[in-house]
Chain A
Amino acid sequence: MTSLALPGNTAATKPKRPGRVIPGFGISLGFTLFYLALIVLIPLSAVFLKTSTMSWADFWATVTSERVMASYRLSFGASLIAAAINVVFGGIVAWVLVRYQFPGKRFIDALVDLPFALPTAVAGITLTALYAHNGWIGQYLATLGIKVAFTPLGVVVALTFIGLPFVVRTVQPVLEEAEKELEEAAASLGAAPLQTFIRVVLPTITPALITGFALAFARATGEYGSVIFIAGNLPMVSEITPLLIISKLEQYDYAGATAIAVVMLVFSFILLLAINLLQAWTRKRAGKA
């Protein structure tokens, strides 16, 4: 009797006072908005207002000049490749960490976040030293005729390192939540392991894989510190877009630097929106499962 009455009781009283008793709404939200405006919104608006001092023709000429176009191709191309590498190998790492037991697993799991915690400049000089023609890894690749450091391939290596944790960390929780009974059911009904993976596992983790891809891609396009050391920074060949912003700033071409920045910002906002939608989708899929 009482157990039946209780849920109805709380349901009736709860919506009446949603946080009415709790103090501090005005001050906490006020401070949040003030600090957000001061640190993020006002400085960011400076970028857009600065571009508005340029004529449309100037703006267009700056952001579509040959050297800038080459940098977009490198930045976005290398970021796409690096994010794709991370989807494949990050997916495998997530799978192995969730499903299998092996010595040193806890340690490896903790170390996956290293690219988040390691300063980008440290990653940059280290990868350059490793992949240079006389480096630990570079010397073996050199005998095969592959040059990594100071080529676009080096940019891909640096961006793969930077994006490594994203796919692993988005797929891991989804795999942990996934109901293994479904796979077991598929297997006991006679599905081959590969069939089970493609029909049962892959649909479950696809939203997470895409979200991880988008996060790694977004991070990679704006990355600067780890790339500039290994890229070699040759105009038209291995010059990333953020580096062009810096070189324009060093020539006191503030308007030119800002124009390129606006292109990158618009791109990141679109990507951010896409990521938000993807994450909502992931949650919905996970909730349904």
Chain B
Amino acid sequence: MSAVLDNVAPARRPTNNKRLDTSVLEPGWVRITLIAVALVFLTLFLFIPLAAVFTEALKKGWEVYVESVMDADALSAIKLTLIAAAISVPLNLVFGVAAAWAIAKFEFRGKSILLTLIDLPFSISPVIAGLMYVLLFGASGWFGPWLAEHDIKILFAVPGIVLATVFITFPFVARELIPLMQQQGTEEEEAALVLGASGWSTFWRVTMPNIKWGLLYGVILCNARAMGEFGAVSVVSGHIRGETNTMPLHVEILYNEYNFTAAFAVASLLALLALVTLAVKSFIEWRLHEARKASTDAPH
């Protein structure tokens, strides 16, 4: 019996080996069809739209483009977008580090509930995020009368825009750091502390170098979303030209005025930001990959 099998096996093996060597089991035409389908799908939904943004923006030439971008309302929209990001990203950065420290370095009850709550803003429609702040700070909202009395404007003003942006970008840094720090464990920190380092210097000298790439990753994603947020900001902004319009809102106004070239010119700046974000993201992924390879290869 076994002799029969032994006789059959060698005869079959060469053909099998040849197929395995190409490390692909399916026939060539299947491979080519699948690649073609994937490329056509991505071309339709990614490459053409991306190319269209820049083509539409430059349709009437470079001068019109520069003029649209340097327009006073456009500049004030750019300024407001930068302000909103400059406030919300650092706030969520501090939160992200604190949350990751508590969740990754300690054991406590209700941790999985806390994780779900941190994720919550991801699953809430941006429109509802804006609505929440209208209900809190609007004229008939909880704090509305008190704010009116003290002449503080939150809704339809910059603070409302910043709050909505903070909410929308709330989970980004925490979500990147928590799994990274959980994976790294607590041994290095414990060693530093046992050797007499203070809590702060342990954090800066031991934890920070370990999480810096993950942190940067979270920050650039957070920043991209902060600068591009539309729905939530649209609800709380009030759309006052030159005052409470962020870049995405300015794009909407120009578009609704049939000023397409100007709308795409401002939109192209946001598309550039998206491309830079993706480039930095790919670079960090490569660094993380290298770091992981080094750490699994070196010590044993």
Contact = CB atoms under 8 A, between A and B. Distances in A.
B291 interface: no
Interface string B253-264: 001000010011
Contacts of B114: 32-33, 36
Q: A33, A122, A126, A249: which has the most chain B beta carbons within 10 Å?
A: A122
A23 interface: yes
B90 to A, nearest CB: 13
Interface stretch (B68-76, B208-216, B274-282): B274-282
Contacts of A153: none
B30 A193 contact: yes
A39 B19 CA distance: 57
A164 interface: yes
A72 interface: no
Q: How big is the A interface, by class?
A: 35 or more
Contacts of A46: 132, 135-136, 141-142
Given A40-B170, A110-B282, A118-B271, A222 B126 contact: yes
Given A111-B278, A117-B278, A120-B231, A100 B35 contact: yes
Interface in B44-62: 44-50, 52-53, 56
Interface in B250-300: 251-252, 255, 260, 263-264, 267, 270-271, 273-275, 277-279, 281-282
Given A50-B135, A100-B35, A112-B46, A224 B105 contact: no
Contact of B128 (A41, A97, A245): A245
Chain A interface helix/strand/loop/mixed: helix
B6 interface: no
Which bracket fits the contact residues of B? 35 or more
A118 B225 CA distance: 8
B16 A19 contact: no
Given A96-B35, A196-B25, A36 B166 contact: no
B264 to A, nearest CB: 7
Contacts of B53: 122, 126
B76 to A, nearest CB: 17
Contact of B52 (A136, A193, A268): A136
Contacts of A188: 16, 20
B270 A224 contact: no
A249 B230 contact: no
Interface in B1-46: 16, 19-20, 23-27, 30-31, 34-35, 37-39, 41-42, 44-46
B142 A125 contact: no
Contacts of A25: 102, 105-106, 108
Contacts of B103: 32
B161 to A, nearest CB: 14
Interface in A95-122: 95-97, 99-100, 102, 106, 108, 110-122
